[in-house]
Structure formats: C-alpha cells, structure tokens
Structure 1
C-alpha cells in the first residue's frame, strides 16, 4: 500500500482502496488474508511432518542413526541465528509503529544478514552430505550407515530443509522490498505499518517451521 498525502505531523497514511469502507477494514482484511495464507503454509509442512512420522515409525533405528550423523553444532548455530532474526523482525514492526523508518531499515537489514548466514551454514551442511554420499533415495551411498531406511531419512531431510530454505529465500525478498521502502519512501508510521507487520509475520512462520524441523531431524 502506497502512502497518500498527509497533514504535517499526522504521519504517513496508506491509500484506501475503493472497495473498503475504512482503513481499519482494509487493514483487517490484509491481516486476515495473511493468516489464511500462513495456514496453507502450515498445511504444506504438516504433510512433511506426517511423512516423517510414518517413516520414523517404520525405520526407527535407521532414522536414529542417520539423525546422529547430522552436524548438531551447525544445526544449533542456525537455530540461534534464525530465532535472533525473528527478534529483529519484530523490532522492525515496533519501530514502524513509531515512524522510525531508519531503524526499520536497520532491523530488517540485520534480519537479512542473519538469513543469509543461515543459508550459508545450510549450504556447508549440504556440501558435507553430498561429499559423504548421504543423498536421497537411489543416490545414497554413505558407507558409514547402511541400515535399511537411511536413504528415506535423507530424502525427508533434503526435502524438508530444502523447502524451508526456499521459504527463507522468499522471505528475504519480501523483507528486502520493505527495507527499500523504508529507506527511499520513509512512509511507515503509526497509521501505516501493516506491510511491515505482514512481512514480519511471514518471517516468524519461517522461524516457527525451523523450530519444529530442528528437534525432529537433529535431536530426536
């Protein structure tokens, strides 16, 4: 939503679309739409979690052994990085409500840096697995684990973490767009912060999904 002209000191005011009765209704519709979208994302990952649960029940020894082969240090560091990035995303919403656009840009920039760090660390993890031959399905040739079901574990691992990394990349694009708006247009304020709020909500979903993936893949 672009800001329209506003009286001095009143703060940026978003343009009201013609099919909404008021800004309050428009903002409520935007939030409702985001919640509906996030619910579909939850259903997407719920399918993967259900798949994980079924195959873990069928191959408990292989899943336990393969889980111990993952790099717990890298997984833990990535968890800390992502949780911290959620904090900076939340602070961006706080500063947007106060009209502090420079701080909004700073918080989102920090979030983007941590998101990039998360992907780099995940890239190192992937490279180690590829080098060892711990690959999905028929490409599996990891000599250290030959238990039946191990290829299925790595299929679930690459599918779940890869899909999550894809969502991280999309989230980075959204936050980058909001950062550019905060720097160039400086149009976020107490009357116009919903875009920042929605972008932060999406990022919290990315964080939440990883909070489930980390213990399932690395700890259990």
Structure 2
C-alpha cells in the first residue's frame, strides 16, 4: 500500500488516515517542544544574567560523557531511520534489527548518564543528596538544579522511547504489525525517537558548553 497504512473504517482513504496520524503526532510533539523549549530558554536567560556562575558550574559537568552520549544518540537515530526505510519496503528483519540496535544504544545512553549522575552525587552537586559542594551555596546552584531537571526529564522521555521501540520490534517480529502495510507504526515510533534525540542536541550545548 502506497501510504504504508492499513485503512481503518473511519477513514475514506489511506492518505487521509496517514495525514491524521502525522497531525496527531506533530501536535503531541509540539506540546513537548514547548515544555523543553521553555525550560531551555530559562537556562539561557540564567546564563546571560549569571555568566561566571554558569561557566563555573558547567566546568564541573562531565563533558566527555555527554559527548559520547551525543554520538550514541545520533547513531541510534540513524538506526531508526534505516528501520523506517526498511518498513516501507517490507523488510521485516531489517526493521527489527534497526530497532534493536537503537534500543541497545538508548540503553547505553542511560547507563552512561547514570554513571555521570553517580559522580555528580559524589561531588555534592545534586540538591539534597550527600555533602553539598561549595557551589551549592552560590548562584551556580540554580544552574545545577536546572541541569538535573532537564536531563532527568529527557531521560524519562528516552525511557518511554525505549519502551515504544521494544514493543514495535516485538510486534513486527511476531507479525502483529505487518510491513509495509502498517509501516506507519514504525514511522510514528521513529518520529518520537528523533524528537528525543533533537532535545538532547539542544540540552548538550546549553549546559555542557556553557563553560566558556
């Protein structure tokens, strides 16, 4: 089917159903963009008002871990893109392989992020955990607070994406979702995952590259 959807009874044409699916996803991602956009705008404003404190705080973040995680997420997006392309051509095994690769890379991201958090906690950078760092007593404290809120929220969204990819991979492998007829399922999953990756592309520089 040219539109890569299995027509539901409430739709007259495959194109109409496909457009409705994309519109629903774009509206949802738009609300998520406003959530992260407002938060990152606040971080940027704080950097403008307190440039020295923000730079000092950013120098205590683990930029090499964040850089590795950026490469991991970008590679996972490539794997998802291959899975979407394979779904449109009905290549079930490649779809499953692409989703599993992205799933493993996403888990690697969370593992590295957890390790980074552990180091942050040990250094007293997290609010209310352990012996606080001297930085927690100055204006840099809010920078750290925003960092933990933004990255934790991103990690939650990423975890949801991992669940979606696991479900999609199993559904395709078990032929509960058939390609190319239901490739729209893989496309919607891919859109969400790409959104999570794009958010990180903005989170990375606004926090880690604030060191000056």
**Could you state the TM-score of these two structures normalised by the residue count of structure 2?**
0.92
Matches within 5 A, 1:52-63: 52-63=43-54
2:146 is equivalent to residue 156 of structure 1: yes
Give 2:83's aligned residue.
Answer: 92
> Which runs of 5 or more structure 2 residues have no equivalent in the other structure?
none
2:173 is equivalent to residue 183 of structure 1: yes
Instruction: Kindly provide the CA deviation profile for residues 8-37 of structure 1, in whole angstroms up to 9, marking residues without a partner as x.
Output: xx89x8543222111221111001111111
Q: Contact between 2:6 and 2:181, CA under 8 Å: does it hold in 1?
A: no
Taking the aligned partners of 2:205 and 2:45, their CA distance within structure 1 comes to: 16
Moved over 2 A (4+): 13-18, 136-140, 145-148, 186-192
| Secondary structure of 1:133 counterpart | coil
Once the two structures are TM-superposed, the CA of residue 149 in structure 1 deviates from its matched residue by 1.1
Q: Contact between 1:137 and 1:152, CA under 8 Å: does it hold in 2?
A: no
Give 2:15's aligned residue.
Answer: 24
> Which runs of 5 or more structure 1 residues have no equivalent in the other structure?
1-9
Q: Contact between 2:44 and 2:206, CA under 8 Å: does it hold in 1?
A: no
2:203 is equivalent to residue 193 of structure 1: no
2:209 is equivalent to residue 216 of structure 1: no
2:99 is equivalent to residue 108 of structure 1: yes
Instruction: Kindly provide the CA deviation profile for residues 18-76 of structure 1, in whole angstroms up to 9, marking residues without a partner as x.
Output: 22111221111001111111111100101111210222222211110110111111010
Taking the aligned partners of 2:67 and 2:106, their CA distance within structure 1 comes to: 15
Taking the aligned partners of 2:6 and 2:71, their CA distance within structure 1 comes to: 38
| Secondary structure of 2:146 counterpart | helix
Matches within 5 A, 1:6-85: 14-85=5-76
Taking the aligned partners of 1:189 and 1:146, their CA distance within structure 2 comes to: 53
Taking the aligned partners of 2:130 and 2:199, their CA distance within structure 1 comes to: 27
Structure with greater Cα Rg: 1
Aligned residues: 209
Once the two structures are TM-superposed, the CA of residue 138 in structure 1 deviates from its matched residue by 9.4
